[in-house]
């Protein structure tokens, strides 16, 4: 008798994925559907939720193009937060600048809350048997613990995107989940979108430019 494949829902912290696994690589044009089918060939993938926020500045067109490419894959749903300017004080020791010590810096908002809400709602709606969380952010520990407490039959696996040990520690989040892994970087070259992607309306999406700073 064939084994029943677990129904799996995937939750991706987009900026955590970028800074942990993609920054400085040529693999930013990542087909998430293809990647997770390679990573979890024995799972029945139900949905891939990609959480991010729109950046401001010269890299925004690249991000918009990438989100359009993701939208061509039926399982992937981008879920957007936002950036909000935050007033912070310069704490550089020995700084002799005589002007204002306060400046504005953008801060990503809503991503952690969005992930938590979707995980809990999917658990209550019985969307899946297995939740796969791609993040190393300890802010998600309460969501993971709550799902585990309310729905002990549902398994949660954390994949920490990490190119270096410090970012890859994520001890609190790893401990809260049923199991944890580092996100395999060796699959990235095998899960790239083609140079051009049909947008489903007869057009083409140009290949995403991949500046090192994006």
Per-residue pLDDT of the chain (214 residues; tens, 9 = 90+): 567 899 999 999 999 999 999 998 999 999 999 999 999 999 999 999 999 998 887 778 888 889 999 999 999 999 998 444 444 565 666 666 665 555 445 455 579 999 999 999 999 999 999 999 999 999 999 999 999 999 999 999 999 998 765 555 789 999 999 999 999 999 999 999 988 888 766 677 665 444 445 4
Residue 95 lies in a domain: yes
**CATH number of the CATH domain containing 102:** 3.40.50.1010
Residue 58 lies in a domain: yes
The model's pTM is 0.84
Residue 210 lies in a domain: no
CA atoms of 189 and 53, how far apart (whole Å): 25
Residue 211 lies in a domain: no
Contact 53, 81 (CB under 8 A): yes
Residue 182 lies in a domain: yes
CA atoms of 170 and 16, how far apart (whole Å): 12
Specify the number of domains making up the chain.
Answer: 1
Domain, as residue range, for 66: 7-205
Tokens of 179: 């199991």
Residue 143 lies in a domain: yes
Residue 213 lies in a domain: no
Task: Tell me which H or E stretch contains 155.
Answer: strand 155-160
DSSP string, 6-58: PEEEEEEEHHHHIIIIITTSS--SB-HHHHHHHH-TTSEEEEEEEEE----ST
Residue from 18, 22, 12, 143 nearest 76 by CA: 12
């Amino acid at each position: 008798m064939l084994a029943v494949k677990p129904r799996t829902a995937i939750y991706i912290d987009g900026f955590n994925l970028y800074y942990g696994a993609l920054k400085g690589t040529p693999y930013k044009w990542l087909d998430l559907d293809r990647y997770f089918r390679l990573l979890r060939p024995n799972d029945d993938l139900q949905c891939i939720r990609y959480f991010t926020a729109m950046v401001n500045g010269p890299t925004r067109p690249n991000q918009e193009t990438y989100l359009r490419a993701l939208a061509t894959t039926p399982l992937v749903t981008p879920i957007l937060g936002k950036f909000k300017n935050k007033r912070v004080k310069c704490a550089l020791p020995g700084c002799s600048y005589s002007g204002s010590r306060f400046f504005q810096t953008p801060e990503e908002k809503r991503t952690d809350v969005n992930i938590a809400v979707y995980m809990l709602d999917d658990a209550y709606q019985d969307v899946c048997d297995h939740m796969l969380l791609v993040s190393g952010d300890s802010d998600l520990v309460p969501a993971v613990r709550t799902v585990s407490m309310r729905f002990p039959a549902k398994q949660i696996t954390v994949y920490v995107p990490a190119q270096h040990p410090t970012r890859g520690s994520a001890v609190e989040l790893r401990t809260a989940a049923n199991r944890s892994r580092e996100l395999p970087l060796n699959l990235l070259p095998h899960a790239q979108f083609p140079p051009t992607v049909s947008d489903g309306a007869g057009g083409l999406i140009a290949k995403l430019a991949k500046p090192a700073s994006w």
